[in-house]
Amino acid sequence: MIVIGERINGMFKAVNQAIQDKDKAAIQDLAKRQIDEGADMLDINVGTAAADPVGAMKWLVETVREVTDVPLSIDNPNLPTMKAGLEACTGRKMINSTIGSEEALNTFFPLAKEHNAMVVCLCIDDKGVPVDVDGRVEIAMRVLAKAMEYEIPMDDIYIDPIVLPVKADQTGPGKVLESIRQFGMLSDPKPHIVIGLSNLSQGAVDRKLINRTFLTMAIAQGLDAAILDPLDTELMDAMITAEMLMNRTIYSDSFLKAYRQR
Ligand code: THG
């Protein structure tokens, strides 16, 4: 699994405060702790409250880069903020994200090439999030065709079926699972498939239980990347165990420890 740490996000009060106070230590601590707990990449999101999103993104990226070389997922819907993040980010990076409309792909795929960046493509277009699985698969097919047209390596494409709060629509999670299963059959080699896991439990009780149960179900359908909280040890244990049960890692009596030491 490719773990993208979700914690550097202005949606969290403490992070929003750190951005306002230019508190480097707080952000760098979050970066290091997530990597220590198994994050392969870090999501960088200024949140919606930032007064100057471009400046905040640049500062966040530079601040995190002082302490780690892992790829950074530049998470913002607006082009100027995205560009500022990509330019500030030395080394590997990910565009998080583009929607799957013709126009958006024609903007973001050239940008991905320019920055040698990975790119998350949301299964959403001008009409919004499709209500059914077929609509999501249709968008994923468009994304893959465009990726070939622009010669983006399949290994740099991450399809996101879009996870919404279960509390708002209880039919959603099942559709996401079926979408993940079908995405895996669209091309060979397969694209990566990623979700924003914590969206699922927003506003719900027993959030961690909901998140980790769904993560194991999604892994069984072929999910291979997730934006999640690596500081949640039970979540990471469940993820590692699901990988082992799917025969993607070797069983040993110390499989949890072995995964963490890899
Ligand atoms: N897909 C992609 N990118 C994404 C998402 C996605 N980026 C953002 C988001 N979704 C994933 N990251 C988070 C981070 C935090 C939360 C949810 C998703 C979260 N935050 C608390 C809440 O809203 O209750 C914040 C409250 C707090 O503790 O202060 O749940 O889907 N490609």
* Tokens of residue 42, six digits: 């870090």
CA distance 216 to 116: 31
Task: Look up residue 190 and give its DSSP letter.
Answer: P
Q: 194 by DSSP, 3-state: which?
A: strand
Helix (H) or strand (E) holding 109: helix 102-114
The domain segmentation of the chain, as residue ranges, is 2-260
Per-residue pLDDT of 87-103, as tens digits, reads 999 999 999 999 999 99
The arithmetic mean of pLDDT across residues 213-226, rounded, is: 98
Best probe residue, ligand 1, of 81, 136, 199 (max atoms within 8 Å of C-beta): 199
Count the residues in the chain.
262
> Average model confidence (pLDDT) for the chain?
97
Atom of ligand 1 nearest to the CA of 227: 11
Best probe residue, ligand 1, of 7, 9, 195, 229 (max atoms within 8 Å of C-beta): 9
Half-sphere exposure of 17 (CA within 13 A, CB side): 5
Q: 11 by DSSP, 3-state: which?
A: coil
**pTM of the predicted model over 0.95:** yes
Task: Look up residue 200 and give its DSSP letter.
Answer: G
Atom of ligand 1 nearest to the CA of 207: 30
CA distance 28 to 63: 7
Per-residue pLDDT of 152-174, as tens digits, reads 999 999 999 999 999 999 999 99
Ligand 1 centroid to 106 CA: how many Å?
27
Token pair 């996870």: residue: 163
22: confidence class by pLDDT, cuts 50, 70, 90: very high
Residue 253: pLDDT above 90? yes
**Which distant-in-sequence residues (6+ apart) come within 8 Å of 117 by Cβ?**
86, 92, 93, 94, 95, 111, 156
Residue 124: its pLDDT value, please?
96
Residue 49: pLDDT above 90? no
Residue 196: its pLDDT value, please?
98
145: confidence class by pLDDT, cuts 50, 70, 90: very high
The arithmetic mean of pLDDT across residues 200-221, rounded, is: 98
Pocket of ligand 1 (CB under 6 A): 6, 9, 11-13, 43, 45, 75, 96-97, 120, 160, 163, 196, 198-199, 202, 227
The arithmetic mean of pLDDT across residues 207-234, rounded, is: 98
Residue ID of nearest Cα to ligand 1 atom 9: 196
The correct CATH number of 2-260 out of 1.20.1070.10, 3.40.50.720, 3.20.20.20, 3.30.530.80 is: 3.20.20.20
AA identity, residue 242 = A
**Which distant-in-sequence residues (6+ apart) come within 8 Å of 103 by Cβ?**
none
CA distance 120 to 122: 6
**With contact defined as beta carbons under 8 Å apart, do 45 and 76 qualify?**
yes
